[in-house]
Chains A and B, each alone.
Chain A
Amino acid sequence: MTHAVEIRDLHKYFGDNEVLKGIDFTVEPGQVVCVIGPSGSGKSTLLRCVNMLEVPTKGQVFINGAELTDPDADIDAARRHVGMVFQQFNLFPHLTALQNVMIAQQRVLGRGKNEAEIIARENLNKVGVAEKCDAYPGQLSGGQQQRVAIARALAMNPDLMLFDEPTSALDPELVGDVLTVMRKLAEEGMTMLVVTHEMGFAREVADRVVFMDGGVIVEDGEPSKVIGNPSHERTRTFLHRVLHPEG
């Protein structure tokens, strides 16, 4: 069986600083994998290596069995199958919500205007912001912006969705709307790799939780095990700090 994502001995340096120190892991089709860990542990860098926004210093990345780290690989073609959602949303501010969801369909997939618009409206409806089609990102709340960003990625019919701390920049009362959309996606069987601090979401939705610290994977397993009954001291310390921030 082909893995949705396979990473072999991945290393990433920023200058002399080794951020990823040999990562091996896989995501199977239909799985939801949450990556947790303290800030600076390399989890966002790992996610960004999966679609080559960061170029790995060493190691291999495969998506659906095709190697992205091959110098001759067509990265742009591979990215069409991988949706990405950013912490800062990164919507295009000069385009309306609808145009944000249409532009890559038209310019990358070559869909006609009508087809792109129908698909865009479907996806905006799915994430619950259909009534905001004609609004510009600056006129939307953070939660609405993030849901438009999810619709923008979904409109490309990805096989895999990457989420880079999708709720970290949101006001607390808006987090729930975004998590609801992500939960719905998971139920539909979307393959998802999610870097998050939302332990509740990880525990309930994830098939697997990966705990990273210091550029390595410390623990990888079912949420009930990694979050519920961690076997490593570093995991326990981290979870204690996240779940009991008051000390």
Chain B
Amino acid sequence: MDGRRSGLDAVTHLLTMADTPISAEPARSGLSPRKRRQISLGVQYAVFVAVLVAVAMLADWPKIAENFFNGPVAAGMFPTLFTVALKNTLIFTLAGYAIGFVLGLVLALMRLSSVAPYRVVALVYIEIFRGLPALIIFLLLGFGLPIAFPGFSLPGDVYGTVALALGLVAAAYMAESFRAGIQAVPKGQMEAARSLGMKPTRAMISIILPQAIRIVIPPLTNELILLFKDSSLVFTLGVTAATTELTKFGSDTTIDQANSTPLIVAGATYLLITIPLGIVVRRLEARQGRKR
């Protein structure tokens, strides 16, 4: 509460600062700076209330409730919403994350390698996969490969394709996080490990990486949230009733019922996962901030 108050004060201050004279002389209008701040604050509250009232009066509430918050339609989505749609979304996400994690770590080590070609390959990979829309990767894997090589299919079918597409994209972002984490471990750690007779690889595995991964847990958790949402791109590959996921399920049910409630319910299910994860990330970041 306090934080929000002081934030608001700061904004007000910024808004009024432009025309508040820096000297202590009375302003031209004859109002004291304190009076001017009060007026400015009053105007801001007035605008807020006016917009609120306008929305409340102009909106067609019964229609909105009927089309977006329809109880029976929402009830019809259970238990499939959780047993199939959410379950598949989670499988896509976690499988993609696992591939991204391993590949990202390998790419990060290549980026820091003393072998120049490794560095170049990793850099090119990261630049390409960070620069492309994830949708293009999905389409290339889902349609591009089967067209080029008829009969070819990735292991796990849709699951394999989605996991690989998500993993390839996530790896590029995670590689940069891992690299930052490895470089954030003080140089003395490697020196201490080497002075004890550890070989560079051993020192990396036993001493540097455990510390680096701890440092990058917040950004890696953020990446998990992003992947969770990106898994919705699977709809472009044409999923079946068994492999459907949250977004596809929501949109199919919406068309089926000619009612938008399923999209709202699907959206809320995403938030059920992403908001707690977001809170976890903020807690972890605050804890690391305190440690330093």
Contact = CB atoms under 8 A, between A and B. Distances in A.
A244 interface: no
A104 B211 contact: no
A49 interface: no
A170 B211 CA distance: 24
Contact of A53 (B186, B191, B197, B207): B191
B7 interface: no
Contacts, number: 60
B292 to A, nearest CB: 11
Interface string A56-88: 000000000000000000001101101110101
A92 interface: yes
A107 B210 CA distance: 15
A192 interface: no
B283 interface: no
A53 B198 CA distance: 13
A119 B64 CA distance: 73
Contact of B197 (A79, A86, A94, A138): A79
A-side interface size class? 20 to 34
Contact of A107 (B186, B194, B206): B206
A227 to B, nearest CB: 29
Nearest to B196: A104
Contacts of B186: 88, 90
A92 B202 contact: no
Classify chain B's interface size.
10 to 19
A182 B75 CA distance: 74
Contact of B196 (A93, A108, A138): A108
B191 A86 contact: yes
B217 to A, nearest CB: 13
Contacts of A109: 197
A153 interface: yes
Contact of A90 (B191, B198, B210, B214): B191
Contacts of A92: 189, 192-193, 207, 211
B210 A94 contact: yes
B195 interface: yes
A156 interface: yes
B198 A107 contact: yes
B276 interface: no
A123 interface: no
A51 interface: yes
Interface in A154-191: 156
A61 B189 CA distance: 24
9 contacts: A51-B195, A53-B191, A80-B196, A107-B206, A108-B196, A108-B197, A108-B198, A138-B291, A149-B192
Q: Which 8 A-B pairs have the closest CB atoms?
A: A104-B196, A90-B192, A80-B197, A84-B195, A90-B188, A108-B197, A79-B197, A94-B210
